[in-house]
Amino acid sequence: MDKIIAHSIPMVDLKAQYRTIQSEIDEAIQGVLDSTEFIMGSAVGEFEAGFGAFCTADYCVGVSSGTSALMLALLAMDVGPDDEVITSSHTFIATAEAISAVGAIPVFVDIDPHTYNLDPALLEQAITLATRVIMPVHLYGQPADMPRINAIARDHGLSVVEDAAQAHGAALNGAVVGTMGDAACFSFYPGKNLGAYGDAGALTTNDSEIAKKVSLLRNHGRRSKYLHEIVGYGERLDTIQAAILQVKLNHLSHWTAARRRLAARYTELLDNCELVLPFVAEDAEPAWHLYVVRTEQRDALLDFLRLRGIGAGVHYPVPLHLQPAYADLGHARGDLPVTEMVADTCLSLPIYPEMTDAQQDTVVAALYAFFDQGVA
C-alpha cells in the first residue's frame, strides 16, 4: 500500500475567490442593505445591462435561477402540454425539469462522442408534429454546434433555447454564447463560472417579444404595481444577488482566461496519460466550466484521487433517460449508447480560476501514478 498524502484540492474554491474580491463584495452588499431595495432594486437593472452587453445581447432579464430562466423561456414561447422539446440526456436534470414544468415532454437525443453535446445528425429523426423547441446544452462550457442546430430548427419552424448554464463567455466562431438561439438561459448557481451567493439566473435574447414576456412572467405578470397583464410567477432576481453578480462580472473575463490557461496546461501535461482528453471544435473557445476526461477505470480512478484529497467529480453518472424521475418515458439502457458510454467513463478534474500550477501539477502527478501502478 502506497503512502496516502492529503492534498485537499477542491473541485472549485469559492472561499479563495471571495478573499480576492472581499472588499468590493462587502461594499456591494452593504449598499443594498442601506437602500433596503431588496426586490427589483437598481442593481437588478444595472446587472441586466452589464450581462446583456457581456453576451452581446439586446435584452437580458434577471430571474431567480437557471432553471426558472429555462422554464420562463418555454412559457414565453407558449410551449405547453403535449408539446415536445428535444434535448440531451447527458446534462443536469434541470434542463429536462424545465420542459416538464411547463407540461411538455422532453425528447432525448444522443450526444456527439467528441463534444458530448447534442448530435445534430440525430436531430431530424427525432422531430415530430409535436416538436416545438430544440434545447441544446453547452455542456462543460463547450459550445454546441449551433450553426447546424439552427439550420435544422429553421427548416422545421422550431425555436431554439440554449441551456448556457455552464457556458458564460464561451465563444463559437468568435461570437460569445447568448444570442445564437432564440433565447439563452444562464445559471448563477454559486459554483458556476459566474456565481451568485445563492440562487440566481438570467435569460438573454435579441427578440424583444421574448424579453418582454419573460419580464412579465418573472414578476407576477405585472405591468404596474397593482395591474397584472398576464398570470405570471414569482421568479425575480434578488437585488443582493444582482449587486454581487455585478461585482463579479467585472472579473469574469480574467477568470475565463485563467480557466483557459489551466485547460491548455492540463491538455499539454496529460498528453502521455491513458485518458481521453476533452475535444475542442476548431471554431470553439470553451469557457471550461469543467475539464472532463474519460477512462474505462473511472470509478477506481475517482476513489484513487479522492483518497489523495483531490476533489474530482462525475458530471453526470446517471443520464436523464435512466433516472427514476423519468421512468414514465419508458427508456431502457441501450437507448442512447453514446450518452451511456460517456456517463460510465467521464471524470471531471478540478479547474477553477484560483487554482495554482502547483495544485494542478499534483493532480497531474496523481493521474500518472494511477496508471503507472496498474490499478484496474
Ligand X SMILES: *Cc1c(COP(=O)(O)O)cnc(C)c1O
What is the contact mask toward ligand X in residues 196 to 235, using x (rule: CB under 6 A)? ---x-x----------------------------------
304: nearest Cα among 365, 359, 352: 365
Is 91 a residue that touches ligand X (CB under 6 A)? Answer: yes
Query: Toward ligand X, which CB reaches closer, 284 or 364?
Result: 284
Q: Closest CB to ligand X among 139 and 275?
A: 139
Place of cell 453526470: 316
* Residue 54 to residue 175: CA distance in whole angstroms: 11
What would the grid cell of residue 19 be? Answer: 478573499
3-state SS class at 217: helix
Beta carbons of 149 and 261 less than 8 angstroms apart: no
Nearer to ligand X, 66 or 350 (CB): 66
Q: Is position 189 an interface residue for ligand X (rule: CB under 6 A)?
A: yes
- Looking at residue 234, the DSSP 8-state letter turns out to be B
163 binding ligand X? (CB under 6 A) = yes
Q: How far apart are CA 328 and CA 286, in angstroms?
A: 35
Q: Is 67 in the site for ligand X (CB under 6 A)?
A: yes
3-class SS of residue 325? helix
The SS3 call for residue 28 is helix
Which one of the spans 92-100, 116-124, 262-270, 339-347 is the region binding ligand X (CB under 6 A)? 92-100
137 binds ligand X (CB under 6 A): yes
Q: For ligand X, which stretch binds (CB under 6 A), given 7-15, 159-167, 176-184, 356-364?
A: 159-167
Stretch binding ligand X (CB under 6 A), from 90-98, 141-149, 304-312, 351-359: 90-98
Instruction: Report, in Å, the least distance between residue 55 CB and ligand X.
Output: 16
Q: Considering beta carbons, is residue 159 or 359 the nearer one to ligand X?
A: 159
Residue at shortest CB range from ligand X: 66
Among 65, 117, 246, 345, binds ligand X (CB under 6 A): 65
Residue count at the site for ligand X (CB under 6 A)? Answer: 15
Q: What share of the chain is helix, strand, coil (3-state, %, to 5)?
A: 45, 20, 40
Sign of the Cα pseudo-torsion (71, 75, 76, 79, in order): positive
What does each C-alpha distance from 300 to 305, 340, 363 come to in angstroms? 9, 18, 15
Shortest reach from residue 322's CB to ligand X, in Å: 17
Cell numbers for 312? 474530482
Q: Where are the beta strands (DSSP E) in 148-283?
A: 159-163, 171-172, 175-176, 183-187, 201-205, 222-224, 227-228
Of the candidate spans 75-83, 86-94, 99-107, 251-259, the one that interacts with ligand X by CB under 6 A turns out to be 86-94
Binding site for ligand X (CB under 6 A): 65-67, 91-92, 94-95, 137, 163, 165-166, 187, 189, 199, 201
